[in-house]
Structure 1
Amino acid sequence: MTSFKLAMRIGWIALALIMAYAVRAEAQPAPPALVPPKVANAETVPYPPWAQGDSVVVLELLIAVSGAVQEAKVINGDEPFATAAQKAAVGWTFTPARRGDVTVAARVRMRIEFHPPVVVPPEPAATGAPPPGPVPAGKSPPGASGASGATATSPPAPQPEVQDVQVRGTRPEAGKISVGGGEVRQVPGAFGDAFRMMEALPGVTPVVSGLPFFFVRGAPPGNTGYFLDGVRVPLLYHLAAGPSVIHPALIDRVDFFPGGYPAQYGRFAGGVLAGYTRPPATTFHGDWNLRLLDAGALLESPFASGRGTALVGGRYGYPGLILPLFAPDTRLSYWDYQARASWKLDERNAISAFVFGSYDYLAEVKKDERGERKTKQLFATMFHRLDLRFDHRFDGGGNLRVAGTLGVDKSGGDTGDATSQMAGLRAELERRLSPVIRMRMGADAFFEHFDLFDERGVQNLTGDTPSILYSPRDDLTFGAYADATWHLGPRVEVVTGLRADLFTSHQLDRPGVLSSAERQQLQANRNARELGVDPRLAVRLGMTPKFTLVSTFGVSHQPPSLVIPVPGAGLAKLGDGLQTSVQTSQGFELLLPGDFTATANVFLHNFIGLTDATATCLRGNEFNLDDLDDSSGRSCIARRVRGRAYGLELLIKRSLTKRLTGWLSYTLSRTTRDTTPGVARRFRALLPEEPSTILGEFDRTHVLNLIGAYDLGSGWRVGGRFFFYSGRPYSKQAQGFLIPPYNSERLPPYFRIDFRLEKAWTIGKTGRISFVLEGLNVTLNKEKVNVQCEISANRGPIRDLRNITPDMMDRCTPEEIGPVTVPSIGLEGSF
């Protein structure tokens, strides 16, 4: 048995034992003599003013023998939802717990779900159905239940069932996967970062395990849009396997759209990952963490009797203290910051300012020609954003936001930097026009100036190919969108939308000497204009109360982009047209027993005019980004290809706040490109002139995430994740040149196991401190990412592809990296 199979078997056995023990422990019935408290009278929990998005709050209530709530303690939840739930719970009354004929005090945990309150058309009551009993904050869904969590005060007894409480709100957006910031802290290997949860979502294929670059339904990483509160950001993760660039305590939730996203998002031909910050808090609170690789903190406080709030947070990474143990000549550091101030003008109007940014630094220590050790900067990147906002809340629901954004991006090495400065203005409106129609619309204008500077900080004046691709220029984009959500019946929802974007790019004159080919390229893109019109359609059709069909369709356009996003750099090739994707999916949502939900989707994405360097810059299984396609100066980076991706996605999950959590994400997919891989010019006469359909360089047939976590009680929680995917394809070679059929071979598959153990203590009424032991790839597995080929000794001329004999083939062996592993030992706390 190979080591891979043995590790797989051990992992499955260990996970099965943990899950079996957890299920058995949770399934133990309570002694019949103990009757837990039941809700008798509870007022609706109001949705907090100025709050946004969904949230989950877990309270621990002490129910007195009279049935009154003697104490309400927040166990988990973000502001202002936690305070709203806590204040409401104090006024609730219960039928007290009983042990036999004796009334006893008891503690019970309550789970309250918040959703933005809107008017939902009433469903006809079933004939003869009894009226629902009093339930806090609206109506709970059929079959809703929670995890165990109540204990009688004397003597100790098994825990009865927790009551689930919900605030009635909107249905989930079609095609959206939403994860709360508080929930994601329980995911092993995510290190408490909601954005790092992206790796565990269906439709997402990592470039390399642990690194934050992903293909989404076949689209390269540079085609996925990242947004924070509607502000476009160039990246969401620090270098290498670093954390996200936003402190996790600031994140309320993250919405992921692998395709067919709403019309409010645009200008990306792949998926969209949108993060939302928590609304301003009503009480002073803080969050901090001290870990092996970094430390961070966040503080927020209201002032002026609650009319204003101020927030400041950030994180500093010091992996350089540990990295020399593994790579003594490597230097790595990072930091990020966030600050926000808000002020209520009155009950319906508010203004706020939000500033955030990040910095990463990677360097290498080498000896120069005199033998002296010098530090050489390999790569450094940073970005900063300032967002000024005015918010208005309408009577009867709905809101208006007008915002202005300023930003600076920069990336480079020891030879120079690419920079961009941007300014944007946007308006977003959401109103309910009637009980069955909800309208969203908006418009924006976005200006960005790109430039290049050498190592002295002087504007780049050379005429080389990179300056043609990223030459100084001014880009101006105008966009507008509108969509309408139609509730055509209790179980029928249709969303129709349309987005239009006008992209313009003006190339700036540069002094210096240019070749005729370079001048021709510059002239072709001097004043480029392209219009993208994107229709969107989404349908939710409830076949039964537990089974819903979901369909999405969308067209998306995007200017030329790099295969991996780099702050400050962008392709100056708008004159060659826009990238286009046509995205369709058909699936269903199913409510399962035990509070599990299942979603499945079949998807098809077609790409036209895609800038995918992984398909156009390949030379003998190696990427050569400096290679030119022909004498006209066209770089392989900007060459266009067609492609498609199709497959099946499956997600089965239980809320991450439950005592026993289960999560299974699986993607079965195929990604192809219509292209001919780069070969020596003397071979081109032997190859078909028309592009052929080959597997994408990062096509992975299977991607699997299996997550399990269990609350052991007394503040202990343990979890694990099993992550697996197929190896990427590669081509056979002869004398260093690719031989058809291309990408017919596969690298070995890869798997890793992540682990998380937490012990939490409650301090006071709202304080909490936790010891966390966590690791990504605790099995220290190495990943095979490429092949290293030894040129065949038989160097006879290849005059015809048909005369290649086995002895002419190069001998290729897998090349591995790693192990890419991230250990974390630290303390986390909040108050």
Structure 2
Amino acid sequence: MKLIPIRLFHCVLCFTLLVFFLETNALYAEGKLEVTIQIVKSNTGKPVPNAVVISKKGKTSGISNAEGITKLTFPEPGYYEIKVSTADKTESLFREVRFKGQVILVSIAESNLSGILVSGERDKTPLSRYGLVQDEIKRLPGVSGDSLKALQTVPGVVIGAPVGILPSVFTNIGTNLITGNPYSNSERGDLSLRGGGTRQNQYYFDGFPLPYPFHLGNQSSVLNNNLIKSFDVYTGAFPAKYGYATGGIIAIEGTDRVDENKTIINVNLFLSDIYNQSKVLPGLAMISSGRKNYPNLVLLQAYPQGIPEDAKYAEYHDYQWKLIWDINPDHRVTVQTFGTRDRQAYTKAQADLERGGQDPRPPTGLDRMFRTDAARYIWKGKSFRNTLSYSRTWFDEFFELRFTNPLTAENIFGLQNRTSDTITYVQNAFEWELWEEHLKFEVGVQGRFRETTLKGENISSYNRLFYNIFNDLLNSNSAFRSVIDGDRIRYREKSAYTEFQFKYGGIRLTPGARVDHYSGSNESNLAPRITAGYVFESTKTSIMAGHGIHYNAPVSVEALSKKSGNPNLFMERSEHNSLGISQDFANHWQIKIEGFHNIFQNIIVPDSYIVDPYALNNDTRIFVNETAKVLANPIKAKNLNYSNAGYGYSEGVEIFLKKTKDPREQSGLFGWISYTNSITKRINNQSRLSSEESRNRTLQNNTRTLLAQTKLGTNYLNYYDDNNLELIYNNDKEELYDLDRTHILNIVFGYKFNSEWMVGGRFRYFSGTPYTPITGATRANQAATFGLNLYFPNYSGNYNSDRFLPFHQFDLRIDRIENYSWGYINTYIEFVNFYGRRNQAGFEFDNTRNFQRNLNPSPTYDTVNSPFIISQTPNGKMAIIPLINIGMEVRF
């Protein structure tokens, strides 16, 4: 492989930096700056006359005329506090003065004018919640202008594995074609919050369900950066209005007011996006945005020799559209749609195949998308608000799977698996302020109606052994059979909740509860929750405590499958307990320390022993092929493959230190440090039999029929037709959770030198995740069928007993902001993975070679969360250098 010399790279880098830092003439006018201030009502856009406008720092004031306009004179550019007083009350806000003749639009909410109930930051619990706003996350380093990735830097958040090697439905196909880790207590998904499952979280955008928050590989969020107003991460004892989760809640709030028309365009080396908000008519506004990335074009075409061999870069686009209609100060209607599409079927190796004229199809491909259409109606009164919401989400995932000869890459057979999911969500929430500023009551009802289908499509093969292998799988494996024939699940979830928010003096008390009903198991569960605290106003010290019970229905089609799973699975349960203290100090500094202990029960796990002795023998394929046998035996013992036998816990302590920049100052430091020390363990409660014990049990059960099964604690007791009892003793033990990380440290900072220059950095350090080491390999004699030697790895009996090396990385970003009368231009450069760290993501065993310590298996590296470029030093050695991203954001 030919690599670019390191000296040439340094020349290119120096030239790039020289161009980037080229000074341009500032357009600030000398002397005093006369600025036009226009005061309007946010809901109707009508001017507010006779409003007194004062800036104490600017030493200027004025009164708005009939058009809501007044002119103020400021001594110099900068941020100023502006107070607007009307007949009803006074509102204080900060605005940036940039140039002479600037028009500053100040929108005053109708609720502030008429005293209508407003819910905001003051109503949100501070316990187990970490929130960040747009100003703090807009220019987060190392994420190409994607502010939502800041949620990965708050305490208790662990990055998961959003894309696995195979969909989970294929994990039980058999070891004759697939070999892998013999033990797992997790599933693929985006994030784990305080040890919860990655598929046990709920994501919301503007209160509507969001199927997943990030594009494939955690590359970037599925929402436009400028659309995100703020987000809250609830990691424990979250409010009663949030359900359908045992892990945590991520609630993203989008822009909900259009004070002025503006367009923002962001273009960099890897993606482009556009955001626009416009006032269509008085009281009617529209917001739209879209994004497209193109890493394949830049990386694989412009500089393919620098890309790691196994690096995967998904191609994606997303879009959002929102219509806001403020009918009058009391009524609002919003209509919106948002969605995305991801395609990951391209690697550097694939590019080499295409250039060589070989089969252009990748070994595996993934194509997934979703779209959500939603509507909301809000009715506000002086002391109440009612919100009616409706949404419908379509999700589709298309996965291509090919079983190949490990030596020749000949296709033995392939298929395409399609998972489709439809979720209809309705909610009505009523808020009533019973005692102004002291007691608020909230009650609501929710409903989710879900339908999921799974189907194998486009089965193909070019191998003479295909027919035998394929039919053996169909006959021996019900999970594989259900994929080929297609499977579908439908269920309903209905919920009701209530919550009181009481505040008096320093006391804060929020008791609440919700009831969740799940149609699959026809169960209803009461989930009480309570948070309490006390604020010492004199010292700005807060102490907090909380307890909550949470339930979530099964989410995977393979587990609930009537053909190959257990349709009678119960809801999973979790208990969250938290205790914390928060202290404000100095100038805009805050520190929060919180301890937690979470318990997870009824976790759905693969179960090799659970059986339904009297299941209908109604498999269509078996009935067609063996009609007489089915008619003679209409009832049979059926393996259910999944149960609620899992249990786990997570406990630890979190520290969050945050510095907010004073908006009145042009310069200053801001950022946060988060640290989590925790341990998470799981137990699947599955009997661990030796190879000999498993073989003897299989031989014995081939000659008898199961008549009854019950559980004694976590042990199975079976009764057979030979009048013998079998006790399957649970000798399982607690193991580290697959995503357990003892230490998680994030340091994010930004420093604004003035209105033009800003620098930011992000440092991340995580303990490595646990894994089960390979201790040797066994030669597979049956591989002679394929005409080659194969070796299958032998794994240690001590599951998850080792850890990968720690993950650490530093990203740097430099911004140059130029202000103009029509807006600004923000040019930036990012150094992603500044010191070129290769972070191990796993290991790969070459089945054509025997085990050899430190060589086979070989490490694989994370090239998405921690990208890097391969170069070459003058002496011919490999060098790892950062990924450089240059971009420009324009607002007008």
TM-score, structure 1 as length reference = 0.70
Aligned residue type for 2:295: P
Segments of structure 2 that go 5 or more residues without pairing to the other structure are: 1-26, 61-72, 101-118, 164-187, 401-415, 460-472, 610-636, 696-727, 777-792, 868-882
Residue of structure 2 equivalent to 1:648: 653
For residue 643 of structure 1, report the CA deviation from its aligned partner. 0.4
Q: Does 1:665 align with 2:668?
A: no
Structure-2 change in CA distance of 1:684 and 1:273 (3 Å): farther
Q: Distance in 1 between matches of 2:212 and 2:541?
A: 36
1:661-710 deviation line (CA, Å, top 9, x unaligned): 13110000000112468977416689983221221122111000112221
For residue 296 of structure 1, report the CA deviation from its aligned partner. 0.9
Q: Distance in 1 between matches of 2:455 and 2:57?
A: 72
Structure-2 change in CA distance of 1:273 and 1:613 (3 Å): farther
Residue of structure 2 equivalent to 1:690: 731
Q: How does 1:69-88 map to 2 (within 5 A)?
A: 70-71=34-35
Structure-2 change in CA distance of 1:677 and 1:189 (3 Å): farther
For residue 818 of structure 1, report the CA deviation from its aligned partner. 3.8
Residue of structure 1 equivalent to 2:360: 374
Q: Distance in 2 between matches of 1:258 and 1:610?
A: 18
Q: Does 1:786 align with 2:842?
A: yes
Q: Distance in 2 between matches of 1:770 and 1:310?
A: 24
For residue 183 of structure 1, report the CA deviation from its aligned partner. 2.0
Q: Distance in 1 between matches of 2:143 and 2:98?
A: 32
Structure-2 change in CA distance of 1:818 and 1:204 (3 Å): closer
Residue of structure 1 equivalent to 2:122: 170
Given that 1:212 and 1:237 are in contact with CA atoms closer than 8 Å, whether structure 2 keeps it comes out as no
Q: Does 1:322 align with 2:318?
A: no
1:278-303 deviation line (CA, Å, top 9, x unaligned): 11313211222111111111112112
For residue 242 of structure 1, report the CA deviation from its aligned partner. 2.1
Aligned residue type for 1:653: K
Structure-2 change in CA distance of 1:88 and 1:445 (3 Å): farther
Given that 2:750 and 2:761 are in contact with CA atoms closer than 8 Å, whether structure 1 keeps it comes out as yes
Equivalenced residue count is 662
Q: Distance in 1 between matches of 2:535 and 2:553?
A: 37
**More deviation, 736-745/723-732:** 736-745
Q: Does 1:292 align with 2:269?
A: yes
Q: 1:94 aligns with which of 56, 72, 83?
A: 56
Residue of structure 2 equivalent to 1:715: 756
Q: Distance in 2 between matches of 1:721 and 1:331?
A: 22
Q: Does 1:482 align with 2:498?
A: yes
Given that 1:642 and 1:673 are in contact with CA atoms closer than 8 Å, whether structure 2 keeps it comes out as yes
* Cα-Cα RMSD: 4.6
Residue of structure 1 equivalent to 2:425: 424
Given that 2:53 and 2:82 are in contact with CA atoms closer than 8 Å, whether structure 1 keeps it comes out as no
Residue of structure 1 equivalent to 2:287: 311
Q: 1:401 aligns with which of 364, 380, 387?
A: 387
For residue 748 of structure 1, report the CA deviation from its aligned partner. 1.9
Aligned residue type for 1:334: Y
Structure-2 change in CA distance of 1:721 and 1:84 (3 Å): farther
1:523-580 deviation line (CA, Å, top 9, x unaligned): xxxxx32323211101121135311001111111111235999xx9x99745121111
Structure-2 change in CA distance of 1:182 and 1:243 (3 Å): same
Q: 1:390 aligns with which of 350, 366, 377?
A: 377
1:184-211 deviation line (CA, Å, top 9, x unaligned): 1132224333321111000112237999
Aligned residue type for 1:497: G
Q: 1:743 aligns with which of 778, 800, 824?
A: 800
Q: Does 1:540 align with 2:540?
A: no
For residue 342 of structure 1, report the CA deviation from its aligned partner. 2.3
For residue 111 of structure 1, report the CA deviation from its aligned partner. 6.0
Residue of structure 2 equivalent to 1:342: 324
1:741-775 deviation line (CA, Å, top 9, x unaligned): 5433332212100111111111216x121001124
1:121-149 deviation line (CA, Å, top 9, x unaligned): xxxxxxxxxxxxxx9747x9xxxxx99x9
Q: Distance in 1 between matches of 2:99 and 2:361?
A: 64
Aligned residue type for 1:473: I
SS of aligned partner of 2:149: helix
1:469-510 deviation line (CA, Å, top 9, x unaligned): 9931211111111101011x21111001111111113xxxxx
Structure-2 change in CA distance of 1:416 and 1:350 (3 Å): same
For residue 587 of structure 1, report the CA deviation from its aligned partner. 0.4
Q: Distance in 2 between matches of 1:372 and 1:169?
A: 58
Q: Distance in 2 between matches of 1:169 and 1:697?
A: 35
Given that 2:228 and 2:255 are in contact with CA atoms closer than 8 Å, whether structure 1 keeps it comes out as yes
Q: Distance in 2 between matches of 1:322 and 1:680?
A: 52
For residue 307 of structure 1, report the CA deviation from its aligned partner. 1.9
Aligned residue type for 1:452: L
Q: Does 1:105 align with 2:82?
A: no
Residue of structure 2 equivalent to 1:724: 765
Structure-2 change in CA distance of 1:496 and 1:467 (3 Å): farther
Q: Distance in 1 between matches of 2:48 and 2:226?
A: 19
Q: How does 1:405-804 map to 2 (within 5 A)?
A: 405-414=391-400, 415-435=416-436, 436-455=438-457, 464-465=478-479, 471-487=487-503, 489-505=504-520, 528-545=521-538, 546-561=540-555, 573=566, 575-611=568-604, 632-635=638-641, 640-655=645-660, 659-675=668-684, 681-682=690-691, 689-731=730-772, 734-735=775-776, 736-739=793-796, 741-764=798-821, 767-787=823-843
TM-score, structure 2 as length reference = 0.66
Aligned residue type for 2:284: G
Given that 2:565 and 2:640 are in contact with CA atoms closer than 8 Å, whether structure 1 keeps it comes out as no
Structure-2 change in CA distance of 1:61 and 1:538 (3 Å): farther
Given that 2:656 and 2:674 are in contact with CA atoms closer than 8 Å, whether structure 1 keeps it comes out as yes
Aligned residue type for 1:433: L
Structure-2 change in CA distance of 1:403 and 1:208 (3 Å): closer
Given that 1:590 and 1:597 are in contact with CA atoms closer than 8 Å, whether structure 2 keeps it comes out as yes
Given that 1:535 and 1:555 are in contact with CA atoms closer than 8 Å, whether structure 2 keeps it comes out as yes
Q: Distance in 1 between matches of 2:162 and 2:830?
A: 17
Structure-2 change in CA distance of 1:112 and 1:267 (3 Å): farther
Given that 2:750 and 2:758 are in contact with CA atoms closer than 8 Å, whether structure 1 keeps it comes out as yes
Aligned residue type for 1:410: D
Q: Distance in 2 between matches of 1:656 and 1:785?
A: 36
Structure-2 change in CA distance of 1:530 and 1:774 (3 Å): farther
SS of aligned partner of 1:312: strand
Aligned residue type for 2:818: W
SS of aligned partner of 1:202: coil
SS of aligned partner of 1:92: strand
Given that 2:133 and 2:230 are in contact with CA atoms closer than 8 Å, whether structure 1 keeps it comes out as yes
Structure-2 change in CA distance of 1:789 and 1:713 (3 Å): same
Q: Distance in 1 between matches of 2:222 and 2:517?
A: 30
SS of aligned partner of 2:122: coil
Q: How does 1:223-302 map to 2 (within 5 A)?
A: 223-302=200-279
Given that 1:529 and 1:574 are in contact with CA atoms closer than 8 Å, whether structure 2 keeps it comes out as no
Structure-2 change in CA distance of 1:86 and 1:751 (3 Å): farther
- The structure showing larger relative contact order (alpha-carbon pairs under 8 Å, at least 6 residues apart) is 2
For residue 610 of structure 1, report the CA deviation from its aligned partner. 1.7
Segments of structure 1 that go 5 or more residues without pairing to the other structure are: 1-59, 120-134, 141-145, 154-166, 506-527, 617-630, 796-806
Structure-2 change in CA distance of 1:668 and 1:97 (3 Å): same
Structure-2 change in CA distance of 1:574 and 1:226 (3 Å): farther
Residue of structure 1 equivalent to 2:137: 184
Given that 1:222 and 1:564 are in contact with CA atoms closer than 8 Å, whether structure 2 keeps it comes out as no
Given that 1:560 and 1:571 are in contact with CA atoms closer than 8 Å, whether structure 2 keeps it comes out as no
Structure-2 change in CA distance of 1:405 and 1:96 (3 Å): closer
